[in-house]
Amino acid sequence: MAPGAVTSRNRSSAPVISPVSHGQTPLRTVQVLGGGSTESGAHVHALTAGLVARGVRVTVCAPAEVGRAYAFDSVGARQVPLPRRGDPASVAALRAICAQADLVHAHGLGAGLRAALALSGWRLPLVVTWHGRAPTRGARARAVRLLERRVARSASVVLATCCDLVDRARHHGARDARLAAVASPVRRRTADGGVHSHERDEADEADVAPQKARAELGAVERPLLVAVGPLDRHQGYDTVLDATHAWTGLDPVPLLVVAGEGPLRGALQRRIERESLPVRLLGRRDDLAALLTGADAALSVSRWEARSVVAQEALRAGVPLVATAVGGTPELVGAAAELVPYGDAVALGEAVVRVLADGTRRAWLRERGLAQAATWPTEDETVAQVLSVYDELTRPLLLR
């Protein structure tokens, strides 16, 4: 086989090599996306744009609603709607699409499993990016571990968004697990982890004055704290409500606003009213940047995070951050945040009071936050790493 050949496949057999001159036929990739969380959807959109700009042919397979939200076709990709379900018909449809690819890149465990099933029997490179993990317990946790093991062992390379996930992939038998250079795309994000627009109106955000944002939230003459995330048991909101008692004696009393929606809304609202807590549940919001504009501090207190969205947005905006020291958060923020143990209401309350009471500390956190955000990978660096991995995996096929 001549050097520089690329691969072609049929649907019923393993890939074979077609003698097409390297450089004349672009690399063909299929990007497989599942539910499209904030991180994975924005990441795939930015990655797709970068790959297409560098001459790679990209097909994105994603649920129809995710495709509409992120408009992968607007940056030059072929966009194919694929149901979320993993039944044989869906896997067969994905297999047919992958038959024309040189490499498949799945994003998330569910997408990774579907891609692994679709490529069964083929020696086609599979890259899987792990963007996070579900903090589950009991029987569901055991099922998730089995899923992780299957995906880790099926992937040619696992790219993980934090060191915790790299270690987890290796523990489950990954042949090659690496820390992913994941950029923090400048996108508008909804404040509850739902479906997100891939666009950002920077002019609108720049026009939001801090005092206007504070006035709309009822915090003109008092400190404003912002927490963001779905109202579920993994986000630590019971601990947050416990911690509010640490600052109810301050004058004026800080207001905490929580942006997000979820199954615990009713229980949290009843507790807020019963204990007269200085907390407002805002519900679903799509203006996280505006909320942070007027904030004195941001809270990220979930059980586990790979690359917390609110932490990234807070540091980029120069807003002091108090966060739980879990998952990838410590490596993401470095020394640019107040870190506390998960579930420790006393430590959380003390950290918030310390930040609010010390203007010098707040100014230092703002400066450190902006400096830390500047160290995060750029979109160009993310695309460069991914292309390097693609080259590693496809070159042996080209040289056969």
Quick: pLDDT tens for 302-320: 999 999 989 999 999 999 9
Same domain, 106 and 159: yes
**N-terminal to C-terminal alpha carbon distance within the chain:** 6
Same domain, 112 and 137: yes
Higher pLDDT, 72 or 5: 72
* Residue 195 belongs to a domain: no
Same domain, 236 and 286: yes
Same domain, 228 and 329: yes
Higher pLDDT, 395 or 152: 152
For the four alpha carbons of 44, 47, 52 and 56, in that order, the dihedral sign comes to: negative
pLDDT at position 319 is 96
The total domain count for the chain is 2
Task: Give the pLDDT mean for 158-180.
Answer: 96
Per-residue pLDDT tens for 103-158? 999 999 999 999 999 999 999 999 999 988 876 677 788 888 999 999 999 999 99
* Residue 21 belongs to a domain: yes
Q: How far apart are CA 52 and CA 142, in angstroms?
A: 39
pLDDT-based confidence at 287, cuts 50/70/90?
confident
Of the chain, the percentage scoring pLDDT greater than 90 comes to 70
Amino acid at 3: P
* Residue 177 belongs to a domain: yes
pLDDT-based confidence at 243, cuts 50/70/90?
very high
Q: By three-state DSSP, how is residue 57 classified?
A: strand
Same domain, 166 and 213: no
Give the tokens for residue 98.
Answer: 């992958």
Task: Give the pLDDT mean for 22-28.
Answer: 75
Same domain, 49 and 167: yes
The residue written with tokens 């990441």 in the block is 43
Of the chain, the percentage scoring pLDDT greater than 70 comes to 85
- b or e along 44-64 (b: 16 or more beta carbons within 10 Å of the residue's beta carbon)? bbbbbbbbbeeebbbbbbbbe
Same domain, 255 and 179: no
Whether the model clears a pTM of 0.95, i.e. scores above it, the answer is no
Same domain, 88 and 175: yes
Residues 268, 273, 278, 282, Cα dihedral to 10°: 50
What stretches of 265-321 show up as alpha helix (H) in DSSP? Answer: 265-275, 288-293, 309-317
Instruction: Give the closest residue to 325 by CA, choosing from 344, 297, 309, 310.
Output: 344
* Residue 116 belongs to a domain: yes
* Residue 188 belongs to a domain: no
Per-residue pLDDT tens for 328-383? 999 999 999 999 999 999 999 999 999 999 999 999 999 999 999 999 999 999 99
Same domain, 219 and 339: yes
Same domain, 288 and 394: no
Query: Residue 16 pLDDT > 70, yes or no?
Result: no
* Residue 129 belongs to a domain: yes
* Residue 320 belongs to a domain: yes
pLDDT at position 207 is 46
* Residue 192 belongs to a domain: no
Residues 192, 194, 198, 200, Cα dihedral to 10°: -30
CATH of the domain at 209: 3.40.50.2000
pLDDT-based confidence at 294, cuts 50/70/90?
confident
Task: Give the pLDDT mean for 242-247.
Answer: 96
- b or e along 225-251 (b: 16 or more beta carbons within 10 Å of the residue's beta carbon)? bbbbbbbbebbbbebbbbbbebbeeee
Burial classification of residue 118, based on how many CB atoms lie within 10 Å of its CB (0-12 exposed, 13-18 middle, 19 or more buried): buried
State which residues form the domain around 314: 202-373
- List the beta strands (DSSP E) in the chain: 6-8, 16-18, 28-33, 57-62, 78-81, 103-107, 126-130, 157-160, 177-179, 224-228, 255-259, 279-283, 297-300, 321-324, 338-340
Burial classification of residue 135, based on how many CB atoms lie within 10 Å of its CB (0-12 exposed, 13-18 middle, 19 or more buried): middle
Question: Which range, 40-44, 189-193, 320-324, 394-398, is most confident?
Answer: 320-324
pLDDT-based confidence at 400, cuts 50/70/90?
low
Residues 133, 137, 138, 140, Cα dihedral to 10°: -30
Same domain, 236 and 149: no
Query: Residue 72 pLDDT > 60, yes or no?
Result: yes
pLDDT at position 153 is 97
Same domain, 132 and 254: no
pLDDT at position 166 is 97
Average pLDDT, the chain: 86
pLDDT-based confidence at 13, cuts 50/70/90?
very low
Q: How far apart are CA 224 and CA 177, in angstroms?
A: 41
Q: How far apart are CA 266 and CA 92, in angstroms?
A: 42
Task: Give the pLDDT mean for 291-295.
Answer: 89
Task: Give the pLDDT mean for 60-64.
Answer: 94
